[in-house]
Structure 1
Amino acid sequence: MSLDDRLVKSAALVGLKIKDAGGHKLGVIRELFVDRDAGIVRYVAVEPAGLFAAGGKFRPLPWRLLTWDDKDEAYVADLTKDRFKEVPAYDRDQLNSATYGWGGQVERFFEGGV
């Protein structure tokens, strides 16, 4: 597979589903957060699906937890559905605030594994 085959536009990622290893839909990607100095995606803001929906709240997942599933054309998160429900949830204003500190909160949540 060439580099060109692995490149994807950010707009193509928004709306893609996220599922757990068991195939359960966790939600969809609504936003990407890029480390401007390193030039890599650090987090995706996931809008929870169905019963997980948190009334306009999003659960940020570290990009490192996601792997691409060609068959389902979705990302698989390296965490269970129950663990996903425990991920801190934030509204859009909190995610857009440079002073809120949600990135550090999410990193602390995932310290020591998922």
Structure 2
Amino acid sequence: MPLTKSKDILDQELVGRDGHKLGHIRETFVDLDTGRIEFLIVEAPGLVGASGKYHPVPWSIVRYDPMAKAFHADVAKDRFKGSPSYDRAQIRSADYAWDEQSNRYFEVPVDVV
């Protein structure tokens, strides 16, 4: 079982289908009951640097490629751009139900959640 430190995940790029860069991983959300990562919070690039919008990406659609030393999600860049996004305050609040919205958008099966 490969292990890594959370700080080694942060600021890594998330790469989408066809090798398109989707953004940088800014946070991880862990389920305290299971100890599993549930979401990567990815900041999409803006016109000049970072966008300030954060896209929750379900961990279940992410894989790590040890050869490329990169995280990949099987999602096209345009689909990622259209995914639910939030500012920092919204991501920190459960009131926005961003987790449910993200799972629904990325079509994560209920039994995986």
* TM-score under structure 1 length normalisation: 0.85
Q: 2:29 aligns with which of 13, 30, 33?
A: 33
SS state at 1:7 partner: coil
Q: How many residues align?
A: 108
Q: Distance in 2 between matches of 1:37 and 1:97?
A: 19
Gaps of 5+ in 2: none
Counterpart for residue 12 of structure 2: 16
State the partner residue of 1:86.
82
Partner Cα distance (2:24, 2:100) in 1:
22
Equivalent residues in 2 for 1:89-100, closer than 5 Å: 89-100=85-96
How far the C-alpha of 1:54 sits from its partner, in A, is 7.5
Q: Which residue of 2 aligns with 1:49?
A: 45
d(CA) in 2 for partners of 1:50 and 1:72? 25
Deviation at 1:111, TM superposition (A): 2.4
Q: Which runs of 5+ in 1 are unaligned?
A: none
- In 1, Cα distance between equivalents of 2:97 and 2:82: 18
Report the RMSD for the aligned CA atoms in angstroms.
1.9
How do 1:93-112 residues align onto structure 2 when only pairs under 5 Å count? 93-111=89-107
The CA deviation at 1:105 is 1.2
Q: Percent identity?
A: 44
**By how many angstroms is 1:50 displaced?**
4.6
